[in-house]
């Protein structure tokens, strides 16, 4: 897995905060604070992921960098950071070739979860008929799940939730990521709906089985993993 990360961000505080965090998480990080240099670096080397700010010095829109990069045939995953928070801007960012869009201010755990999801997605994208972790098996054709040979009854939406978590096993996924991918919504429900969805799912797949698979990562999100 390519753990090299290029950060194109002109604001030193944000850049330092992101750099340090990613280094701690095991990434090698290169920081460029300016658009042209950033684009040269992005095009000339093989990066695991590029983190790109939308508003760069000299009125450079980060989106133009993504566009050029894609025109050069580069498929490196790009995470766009922006203070432009509206849904319209998000849609523009994703249509413009970005793979994910995160608005400032953000929690570092949210950034890390998304970066890891992007890095891994670009590694393993093989479509299989079934997903497995420990003794949990998801049959993607019949949309059925079983654990230890026992059938688990899941509603369609719960199956999608579990599928997403298992596809991203050993990675932290945040509540927003779940809401966006499983429910396809870009809004923030007030009550802890996702938490309760997760705990209901947990009671179905973990109750009476060992080891527990669905873990809550405090202050960040959830993770499906064999290890606690």
Partner 1 sequence: MVRLWKSVAFRLAVFCGVLVIGSVTIFSAIFYFGTIRVLIQDVDRKITSISQRLSDKFETQGVEALRTEIDAMLSDKIDVETEIYYLGGIDGRKITGNLSDWKELSSPLDRSIDRNVIRDGNPSSARLLLHQLPNGGLLIVGRDMKDINEITYLVWRTIGIGCVAALMLAIGGTILFRYLLERRVGAIRKTVEEIEAGKLDKRIPISGVEDEFARLSREMNRMLDRIEYLMDGVRHVSNTIAHNLRTPLSRIRGHLDEALRTADASRLAGAAEFSIGQIDGLITVFDKLLQIAESESGIRRQPFTTVALREVVTNVVELYDAIAEEKGIALVTNIEGDPKTLGDKDLLASALANLIDNAFKYGGRSVTISVRATPGAETVSMIVQDDGPGIPPEERSKVTQRFYRLDQNMPGTGLGLSIVDAIAHLHGASLGLEDASPGLLARLVLPPFTSQ
Q: Which of residues 196-215 bind partner 1 (CB under 8 A)?
A: 196-197, 199-200
One of 16, 83, 157, 216 touching partner 1 (CB under 8 A): 157
Counted residue by residue, the chain has a size of 228
One of 28, 40, 155, 216 touching partner 1 (CB under 8 A): 155
Torsion angle of C-alpha atoms 4, 222, 206, 199, degrees rounded to 10: -170
Distance CA 99, CA 78 (A): 5
Choose between 107 and 134: whose C-beta lies nearer to partner 1: 107
- The reply on whether position 91 binds partner 1 by CB under 8 A is yes
One of 58, 127, 188, 228 touching partner 1 (CB under 8 A): 188
| Pairing outcome for strands 214-217 and 150-152 | unpaired
Q: How many CB atoms lie within 10 A of CB 54?
A: 24
One of 86, 94, 148, 170 touching partner 1 (CB under 8 A): 86
Distance CA 184, CA 168 (A): 17
One of 26, 190, 207, 210 touching partner 1 (CB under 8 A): 190
- Helix-helix angle 156-167:175-182, to 10 degrees: 120
- The reply on whether position 192 binds partner 1 by CB under 8 A is yes
H/E stretch holding 186:
none
Residues lying near partner 1 in the complex (CB under 8 A): 85-88, 91, 105, 107, 155, 157, 179, 183-193, 196-197, 199-200, 219
């Amino acid at each position: 897995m390519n753990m090299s990360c290029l950060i194109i961000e002109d604001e030193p505080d944000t850049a330092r905060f992101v750099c340090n965090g990613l280094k701690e998480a095991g990434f090698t990080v290169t920081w460029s604070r300016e658009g042209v240099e950033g684009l040269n670096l992005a095009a000339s080397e093989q990066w695991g992921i590029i983190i790109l700010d939308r508003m760069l010095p000299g009125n450079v829109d980060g989106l133009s960098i993504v566009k050029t990069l894609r025109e050069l045939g580069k498929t490196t995953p790009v995470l766009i950071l922006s203070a432009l928070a509206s849904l319209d801007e998000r849609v523009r960012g994703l249509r413009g070739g970005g793979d994910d869009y995160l608005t400032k201010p953000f929690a570092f755990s949210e950034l890390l979860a998304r970066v890891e999801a992007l890095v891994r997605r670009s590694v393993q994208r093989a479509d299989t008929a079934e997903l497995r972790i420990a003794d949990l098996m998801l049959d993607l054709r019949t949309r059925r799940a079983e654990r230890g040979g026992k059938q688990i009854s899941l509603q369609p939406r719960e199956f999608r939730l579990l599928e997403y978590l298992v596809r991203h096993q050993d990675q932290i996924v945040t509540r927003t990521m779940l809401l966006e991918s499983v429910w396809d919504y870009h809004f923030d429900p007030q009550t802890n709906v996702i938490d309760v969805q997760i705990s209901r799912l947990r009671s179905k797949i973990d109750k009476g089985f060992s080891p527990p698979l669905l873990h809550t990562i405090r202050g960040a999100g959830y993770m499906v993993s064999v290890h606690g």
